[in-house]
């Protein structure tokens, strides 16, 4: 928790120069549910698969001791420090560039029409927290 903030400026600029990035969202306090909507049109939602990246064990530990899964997602980045939003046809090139700049990259979801639902849908999050070390099934709390 005391690790300094990672800086993504050089890698994100390189990706933006080489591909038509639609948006970047730095995932800080507010987690994915509060930071991603800032870069999305009101009629879009981000559907994320929490099984697509490894949630660091510290978040499983925290979930066991103090924080509910909902609060965990709204408070911490849970292992995703930056989100880049691109069209599917541009994603592979952006991933290559980000990796060339030393970033670890995961394809974590897609943008879809929002309808009446939330701006961010985080599928599989309780199970992902269990894999991160939460010892009690989080969906029973």
Interatomic CA distance for residues 52 and 32, integer angstroms: 14
Q: What is the pLDDT of residue 141?
A: 42
Return the ∠ at Cα 97 (arms to 92 and 101), rounded to 5°. 145
- For 88-113, what is each residue's pLDDT tens digit? 999 999 999 999 999 999 999 999 99
> How far from 130 is each of 3, 57, 102, 125, CA to CA, in Å?
23, 9, 28, 9
- Judged by DSSP in three states, 25 sits in strand
Q: What is the pLDDT of residue 66?
A: 80
Q: In the chain, which residues have pLDDT < 70?
A: 1, 136-141
78, 5 in Cβ contact below 8 A?
no
The model's pTM is: 0.89
């Amino acid at each position: 928790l005391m690790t300094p903030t990672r800086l993504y400026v050089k890698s994100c600029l390189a990706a933006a120069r080489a591909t038509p990035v639609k948006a970047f969202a730095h995932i800080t306090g507010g987690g994915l549910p509060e930071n991603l909507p800032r870069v999305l049109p009101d009629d879009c939602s981000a559907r994320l698969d929490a099984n697509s990246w490894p949630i660091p064990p510290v978040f499983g530990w925290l979930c066991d001791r103090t924080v509910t899964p909902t609060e965990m997602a709204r408070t911490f980045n849970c292992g995703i420090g930056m989100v880049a939003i691109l069209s599917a046809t541009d994603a592979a090139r952006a991933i290559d560039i980000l990796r060339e700049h030393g970033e670890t990259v995961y394809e974590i979801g897609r943008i879809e029409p929002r309808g009446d639902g939330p701006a961010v849908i985080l599928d599989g999050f309780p199970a992902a927290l269990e894999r991160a070390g939460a010892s009690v099934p989080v969906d029973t709390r």
